[in-house]
Amino acid sequence: MTAIEIAAWLGAGYGVVLLLVAHGIDRLAQRSHNALERHRTGGFVYHESHDAWLCPEDQWLYPKSFDPENRVMRYRGLPLVCNACPVKETCTASDAGREIKRPVDTWPASESARFHRGIACSVTVLAVLFPVVTALTVSTWPSQALALGTAVLVAIGSLPLWSHLRHTPVDPHGVFVQSLDDVVAERAAAAAAAARKRSHYASDRRATHES
Strand partners, 53: 46, 61
- Could you give the C-alpha distances from 179 to 59, 77, 176, in angstroms and in order? 17, 12, 10
What is the model's pLDDT at position 174? 45
- For the stretch 54-75, pLDDT in tens is 998 888 898 888 877 777 888 9
Residues of the chain scoring pLDDT < 70: 1-2, 105-111, 164-211
Where b means 16+ CB within 10 Å and e means fewer, 125-151 reads eebbbbbbebbeebeeeebbebbbebb
For residues 210 and 120, give the distance between their C-alpha atoms in angstroms, rounded to a whole number.
52
Domain boundary assignment for the chain = 6-210
What is the model's pLDDT at position 133? 95
Beta strands in the chain (DSSP E): 45-47, 52-54, 60-67, 72-76, 99-103
Using a cut of 0.75, tell me whether the model's pTM lies above it.
no
- For the stretch 9-35, pLDDT in tens is 999 999 999 999 999 998 888 888 777
